[in-house]
A and B are shown apart, each in its own frame.
Chain A
Amino acid sequence: MSAPHSNAHSNPYEPPSDLERLQRHGWTLGAVGVAACLVGWILDSNQFFHSYLVAWLFWLGIALGSLAILMLHHLTGGAWGLMVRRTLEAATRTLPALAILFLPILLGMQEIFPWARPEAATDELIQQKAAYLNPAAFTLRGFFYLAIWSLFAFILSWLSLRQDRTADPGLIRRMQAVAAPGLAIYCLLATFASVDWLMSLDPHWYSSLFGVYFFVGQGLSALAFLIVIAVYLSQRQPMDSLFTPLHFHDYGKLMLAFVMIWAYIAFSQLLIIWSGNLPEEVGWYLERSHGIWKYVSILLALFHFLLPFLLLLSRDLKRNAKLLSKVAVLVLFMRWVDLYWLAAPSFGHEGLSFHWLDLATVVGIGGIWFALFVGQLRSRPLLPINDPYLEEALADD
């Protein structure tokens, strides 16, 4: 605590005061959204829980993807990561709140998951999976994943804070030592989580690529979100003089890579299931290739992959923060469409079931989540002030 940078007012990278306004907007939107959700819950609890699952997974994806990208940065280094490390850390510290927001899913388990309903007792295939797919195990596993992820998030944030205070260069090694197993554990748990929270909506269906699809999507969500925040910060003191087109070029390249991996995994899963043509597997795709869902699938291919891919090929666009943030917003929106496309056809509504609760839940959870995120972002300097690589990262050439 005796280090010169411990006093927040003396630090040169103090978060801009506008953030307070953003945080207030977050709380307001959150309150309106939650009120709408409560009304929706009373009017149509079935629909409420379906919408809630998608909205919760959307915001969870940003926080968890941030954890993965943060750990990736600790392991690989680079100026791009140092510039946004505090944004990523702030997003990961929202994980305990997301664990609390997991509770409504437990309340609505019967409305969301077919295996949790009494009728499941007569389904031979579900009965074979009952040792894994049962309410108690589902609840325990869910909290276990969220606890482990939160633990990694807080260890990394705590080490980062200690680095600010003590300037101990050895902390870099310790962060790497946490990040290496952390990344592997994150991927493993996210795979299980994808089975629990999305794949089991259709308990007969299975795909071994699904976990990768799930966490690559989270990485993409987090990257698009961090671009939006970085562009916001780059227009304000003190970061306006520190972000350069080179940084945005790097974020653009990373987002392009994630868009491509997402498409690669999505296509691989389709190719494998289409080639095998087995009844338990193809049903999932048949649901998504008929009626209105066919057009949602095409929408995904065009706007989750093709358009961002073509736009991000351009060097000029990647170096233009404003344009890049527009692509990032498109990608974020399509991330929600992707989760909706994964979940909604399995709920068994007739046709395209877009409901006002789909919006209300995204706004409700999102407002609260965003306000918490901004609060975390405001609580620390915007750059890791005593990181040994910071000087190098901020050098002009």
Chain B
Amino acid sequence: MSTPPPSKGPFALMAEFRSSKELIRAIRQARGAGYTQLEAYTPYPIEEVWEELGHHRSWLPLIVLIGGIFGALFGSLLQYWVSVINYPMNVGGRPLNSWIAFIPVTFETTILFAAGAAVLGMFALNKLPMPYHPVFNVERFALASRGRYFLAIGRWDPQFDRRETAEFLHRLAPQEVSEVAS
């Protein structure tokens, strides 16, 4: 869900489901009914949920790839600069630019920078740290990290209507439908 425009009313309407299957069916029906601003909350990552939500592709793989390429260049050029330019030293008669010996360190810096890019990129794309988010205003939402599955429809959805959307969610046979206060 993108950021809501400022206006009155609840932040979103949220339905609680008891299984991932129910949640996935609900997402399908909500998408079928024309809702677009959906978000799902599950206790563990479920690839199918992510696909059903029709999310755009994540930029994270590209960020990790760039991090890795940067790490590889950094590691190899650093060693080249140290051993060939800054402090050339004859080791056992080997050439100064002994690329075979540079590979392990280059490999390490590639992984290091790729992993760092993955962590920082994930934080940045998720806009973390985020000290406040309205979904936590729903008391039962704490169950989203235990055994319950939640589907939220954002107020900024063009089809959103406080009453109609709530009725729609009730028809999906959820455990409970609640309003998320802003």
Contact = CB atoms under 8 A, between A and B. Distances in A.
A134 B48 CA distance: 60
A155 to B, nearest CB: 37
A277 B91 CA distance: 12
A299 interface: no
Given A397-B21, A397-B48, A270 B100 contact: yes
B45 to A, nearest CB: 14
B104 interface: yes
B78 interface: no
**Number of contact residues on A: which range applies?**
under 10
A267 B103 contact: yes
A274 B104 CA distance: 14
Interface residues of B, number: 11
A242 interface: no
Contact of A271 (B61, B92, B103): B103
A275 interface: yes
A313 B21 CA distance: 30
Contacts of A271: 100-101, 103-104
Contacts of B92: 277
Interface string B95-123: 00000110110000000000000000000
Interface string B25-69: 000000000000000000000001000000000000100010000
Interface in A263-319: 267, 270-271, 274-275, 277, 313, 315
Contacts of B104: 271
Nearest to B65: A313
Contacts of B24: 397
A68 to B, nearest CB: 26
Contacts of A275: 101
Interface of A: 267, 270-271, 274-275, 277, 313, 315, 397
16 contacts: A267-B103, A270-B100, A271-B100, A271-B101, A271-B103, A271-B104, A274-B100, A274-B101, A275-B101, A277-B92, A313-B65, A315-B61, A397-B20, A397-B21, A397-B24, A397-B48
Pick the 7 closest A-B CB pairs, nearest first: A274-B100, A271-B100, A397-B48, A267-B103, A270-B100, A397-B21, A277-B92
